[in-house]
C-alpha cells in the first residue's frame, strides 16, 4: 500500500514512513501533481473535504493529533503491524534505506555512533542521510506501541 499525503499532513507522512510505508509528501503540490500521484494508485490522505470528494481512494483526516490521524488511516485501510518494516525508508525523502558500508559510515557518523551501532547504520542513497537506532528511535517505537501499532 502506498500513500500520498496532502500538504497539511507532514507529521502523518513522517510516521507512515517510519512504519515503512511509501508515502509521498510535499509542502505544496502543483495543480496536476496530486491527481497524477493518485492515478498511480496511491491512497490520498487529505484534510480537505472538497479534495476528498474528488477521489474514490481518498481518506479524509479530521484529527489534528498524529496519533488519531494514524488510527484513522488504520481504520480506513488497515495498517500492518509488521515491525520488521519500520525504519526502512528515509524520513525526509521517502527513499528506501540501504545498509551503510562500514568505511563510509565511519567517515560520516560520530565515532560513538559507529562504535555502538556499526552494523545497524543505514544510508539514504537519494539524500545521503545516515540513520541508526538511537534514543529517538526508541522513543518513537514506544510511542507507536502505546498508540496500538
Domain of residue 126: give its range: 98-146
Is the pLDDT confidence value at 118 over 80? yes
Do 65 and 104 lie in one domain? The reply is: no
> What's the grid cell of residue 15?
510516521
Domains in the chain, number: 2
- 92 in a structural domain: no
**Sheet with strand 2-5: strands edge to edge:** 22-25, 2-5, 43-46, 58-60
Q: In terms of pTM, does the model score above 0.95?
A: no
* Averaged pLDDT of the chain: 95
- 67 in a structural domain: yes
Distance CA 129, CA 93 (A): 10
Amino acid at each position: 500500500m502506498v500513500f500520498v499525503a496532502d500538504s497539511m499532513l507532514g507529521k502523518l507522512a513522517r510516521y507512515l514512513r517510519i512504519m515503512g510505508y511509501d508515502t509521498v509528501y510535499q509542502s505544496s503540490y502543483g495543480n496536476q501533481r496530486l491527481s497524477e500521484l493518485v492515478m498511480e494508485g496511491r491512497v490520498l490522505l487529505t484534510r480537505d473535504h472538497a479534495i476528498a470528494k474528488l477521489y474514490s481512494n481518498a481518506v479524509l483526516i479530521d484529527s489534528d493529533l498524529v496519533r488519531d490521524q494514524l488510527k484513522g488511516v488504520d481504520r480506513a485501510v488497515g495498517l500492518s503491524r509488521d515491525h520488521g518494516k519500520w525504519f526502512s525508508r528515509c524520513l525526509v525523502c521517502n527513499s528506501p534505506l540501504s545498509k551503510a558500508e562500514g568505511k563510509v559510515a565511519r567517515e560520516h557518523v560520530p565515532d560513538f555512533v559507529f562504535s555502538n551501532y556499526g552494523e545497524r547504520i543505514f544510508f539514504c542513497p537519494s539524500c545521503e542521510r545516515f540513520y541508526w537506532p538511537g534514543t529517538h528511535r526508541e522513543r518513537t517505537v514506544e510511542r507507536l506501541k502505546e498508540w496500538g501499532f
